[in-house]
Structure 1
Amino acid sequence: MIPYILRRIGAGLVLIAAVSVVAFTLLYVGSGDIARRILGQNATAETVTQLRTELGLDRPVIAQFADWVMGAVTGDLGRSWFDGQFVSVSVTGRLGVTLTLVIGATLLAAILAVLLGVVAARRGGWIDGLVQFLAVIGFAVPGFLIALYLVLLFAIELGWFRATGFIPLSDSVTGWIGSVTLPIIALSISAIAAVAQQIRGSMIDALAKDYVRTLRSRGLNARSVVYKHALRNASAPAVAVLGVQFIGLLGGAVVVEQVFALPGLGQLTVQATTQGDIPVVMGVVVVTAIVVVIVNLIIDLAQAAINPKVRLS
């Protein structure tokens, strides 16, 4: 098991390094004259040259990247070009909000998807049709549209939740719940649809296996056959899909955070991209890559625990 973990960690570090190189190249080399873009077309050549020197953009790209790597290894991702704040502070301060939404949406999707998928596979009929219809709706309707409907109904019309804003858990538990419930629901709809479909298909295949018929012939409780044996064998593909959905939810959080005015990575990314604050954008990209690597490692370990054959692959 330890060699398997080390291999996955090594692959993750290679991925982070590759993302860093590509992102730095695209942001610093592919953006053209960054100083001119920041100051505008009406700025004088002397002013542009001065800013380029202050930002270190007059140095060779390799030297800039080497300095960034040396700082990143120690946790220093540079400073914002506009407010001077450390990028690591800005990103980590917003990361908690985004992870709250994404983890909450993932847990909600996992619970509801298992229930819907298992029921659809066992009962069939109109329940199966209803689950597939809901899955189509989840795939077809954009997340921001669902978010707007939730705000109009539950926040504005009924007044049950906050329409916008975020209340930290340390300030108020009920306020925190009220501020994240609707965003989590809006973010989880598409994930519920994808995972429920996967579980439904895997469960139908698992329930048709010979070992399931053998267990039933021995008089084993039906609930035990379904949830203890069939679901475990059917859960490995669903775990993989859930991991992919988690990564996709990181991107979906950008839109949801804008709708609910939440101070997460999505809001920071939009602001930094609009301003052309490249160090902040670079920091967001790298931190997101690290989160993706950690999630993939957790998913791999979960699959290895469910199916030991994965460790040998």
Structure 2
Amino acid sequence: MITYSLKRIASGIVLLAVICAAAYALLFVNGSSIARNIVGDQATEAQVEAKSIELGLDQPLPLRFLDWVGSALTGDLGRSWFGTLTVSDALTTRLPVTLALIGVAMLFVTLLATTIGTLAAVKRGWIDRAVQVGAVIGDAIPGFVLAVVLATVFAVQLGWFPAVSSIGPGAGADAWIASLTLPVIAIVLNYVTASAQQIRSAVIQQRDRDFVRTLRSRGLGESEILLKHVLRAAAPAGLTVLSLQFVGLLGGAVILERIFALPGIGQLAVTSTVSGDIPIVMGVVLYTVVIVVIVNLAVDLINGWLNPKVRVS
């Protein structure tokens, strides 16, 4: 298990390095003058050149990237090029909003999908058909459409929830709950049936295995077989689907954050990319990739614990 874990950690570090290098290079290929964007169109060429030298933009790209890596390894991600706020401060104020949104939504998706998918696999009938139809509808309707409908009906027309997020410095639990309820519901509605369908298929597959028939022949009850053996065997497939959805939401959260005016890292990434604030963008990339690596590592370790064959492969 230790060797398996070290391999997964090493692959995560390699992935982090590759993505950061690629993102850093892509941020400088548009041909526009970053220094000119910062000092403004009215600045002279001498001022633009001075700003370029101040930011180190006169240095070769590989040297700049290595300098950024060296600072990042010490925990210094620099400062915003369009303000005095440090990258760490900008991210630590916004990252909790995004993680709370995705984390709470995925918790409800996991609980509901596991329950519904298991019932569909065991009971079949109308529950199974409802999951099949719901999965198709969930794939056909984009998540932002559900978000817009929920915001229009329950925030604008009925006024049950705030149309604009009230999350801010010192905001209490009431503000967080009121601001996150609708986007969480939008995510759950969009993802739960697709996840339930995957779990349903995994449970059906495991219930047809020889070991289940052996357990039945030994006199074990169906509930005990399902809860102690079938669900454990089906868990890796469900965890993989849920982890992919979690990772996808990290990139797609920007749309929900814009619809519900949530101060998360998605909006920060978009505004920083448009303005050319490279330190902020690289900070978002670094934090996001680290979260993805941690999630994938946790899923791999859990799958390895549930199924020893995974560790061998």
For the aligned pair, the TM-score class normalised by the smaller chain equals: over 0.9
1:27 aligns with 2:27: yes
Deviation sequence 1:155-176 (CA, Å, 0-9, x none): 2344333332143696422332
1:203 aligns with 2:203: yes
Question: What is the aligned partner in structure 2 of residue 221 from structure 1?
Answer: 221
Cα separation, 2, equivalents of 1:257 and 1:147: 10
8 Å CA contact 2:37–2:275 kept in 1: the answer is no
1:207 is aligned with what amino acid?
Answer: R
8 Å CA contact 2:202–2:237 kept in 1: the answer is yes
- What pairs with 1:152-191 in structure 2 (closer than 5 Å)? 152-167=152-167, 171-191=171-191
Question: What is the aligned partner in structure 1 of residue 15 from structure 2?
Answer: 15
The 1:6/1:153 distance shift into structure 2, 3 A limit, reads same
* TM superposition shift of 1:57: 0.7
Question: What is the aligned partner in structure 2 of residue 129 from structure 1?
Answer: 129
Question: What is the aligned partner in structure 1 of residue 36 from structure 2?
Answer: 36
Cα separation, 2, equivalents of 1:170 and 1:219: 58
Structure 1, 248-257 or 118-127: larger mean CA deviation: 118-127
Question: What is the aligned partner in structure 2 of residue 311 from structure 1?
Answer: 311
Deviation sequence 1:102-157 (CA, Å, 0-9, x none): 11111111111111211111122222111111111211111111111111233234
Structure 1, unmatched stretches of 5+, are: none
8 Å CA contact 2:38–2:81 kept in 1: the answer is no
After TM superposition, where is structure 1 displaced by more than 6 Å over at least 4 residues in a row? none
Cα separation, 1, equivalents of 2:83 and 2:69: 22
Cα separation, 1, equivalents of 2:169 and 2:182: 16
Cα separation, 2, equivalents of 1:128 and 1:31: 54
Identity %: 50
Deviation sequence 1:21-67 (CA, Å, 0-9, x none): 11111113554432234456665422322221222211222321222
The 1:84/1:295 distance shift into structure 2, 3 A limit, reads same
The 1:186/1:43 distance shift into structure 2, 3 A limit, reads same
8 Å CA contact 1:169–1:176 kept in 2: the answer is no
SS in 1 for 2:96: helix
Deviation sequence 1:58-102 (CA, Å, 0-9, x none): 122232122211110011111111012111211122111111111
Question: What is the aligned partner in structure 1 of residue 293 from structure 2?
Answer: 293
2:227 is aligned with what amino acid?
Answer: Y
Cα separation, 1, equivalents of 2:209 and 2:31: 56
SS in 2 for 1:159: coil
8 Å CA contact 1:113–1:193 kept in 2: the answer is yes
Q: Number of matched residues?
A: 313
2:179 is aligned with what amino acid?
Answer: S
Question: What is the aligned partner in structure 2 of residue 240 from structure 1?
Answer: 240
Cα separation, 2, equivalents of 1:94 and 1:80: 15
1:5 aligns with 2:5: yes
1:229 is aligned with what amino acid?
Answer: H
1:45 is aligned with what amino acid?
Answer: E
Cα separation, 2, equivalents of 1:172 and 1:79: 29
Cα separation, 2, equivalents of 1:230 and 1:123: 15
Structure 1, 26-35 or 300-309: larger mean CA deviation: 26-35
* TM superposition shift of 1:191: 3.0
1:51 aligns with 2:69: no
SS in 1 for 2:81: coil
Structure 1, 72-81 or 25-34: larger mean CA deviation: 25-34
Cα separation, 2, equivalents of 1:310 and 1:190: 30
Cα separation, 2, equivalents of 1:179 and 1:36: 38
SS in 2 for 1:59: coil
Cα separation, 2, equivalents of 1:183 and 1:147: 6
2:96 is aligned with what amino acid?
Answer: G
Cα separation, 2, equivalents of 1:169 and 1:187: 25
Alignment root-mean-square deviation, CA? 2.0
Structure 1, 8-17 or 25-34: larger mean CA deviation: 25-34
1:194 aligns with 2:194: yes
Question: What is the aligned partner in structure 1 of residue 84 from structure 2?
Answer: 84
8 Å CA contact 1:110–1:242 kept in 2: the answer is yes
